[in-house]
Amino acid sequence: MVNKTGATRLGFALLLKFFEIDARFPAHAGAVSSSSVSGRASR
């Protein structure tokens, strides 16, 4: 993730976390809750 910046890094991290929890990638953007986006963005 060193070469990724800003929103790209956040999106990539969200996809990985979603996959880690659900063992699949989200089918659409609405599958990822806004609270999880906010939580990851603050880190």
pLDDT on residue 30: 84
Mean pLDDT in order along the chain per 10 residues (43 residues): 75 87 87 76 72
User: In the prediction, which pLDDT does 1 show?
Assistant: 59
Residue 9 CB-density burial (10 A; 0-12 exposed, 13-18 middle, 19+ buried): middle
CA distances from 27 to 1, 3, 5, 19, 42 (A): 23, 25, 24, 11, 24
pTM (2 decimals)?
0.65
pLDDT of res. 9: 85
Provide long-range contacts, Cβ within 8 A and 24+ apart, for 34-39.
Answer: 37/10
When computed from its CA atoms, the radius of gyration of the chain, rounded to whole angstroms, is 10
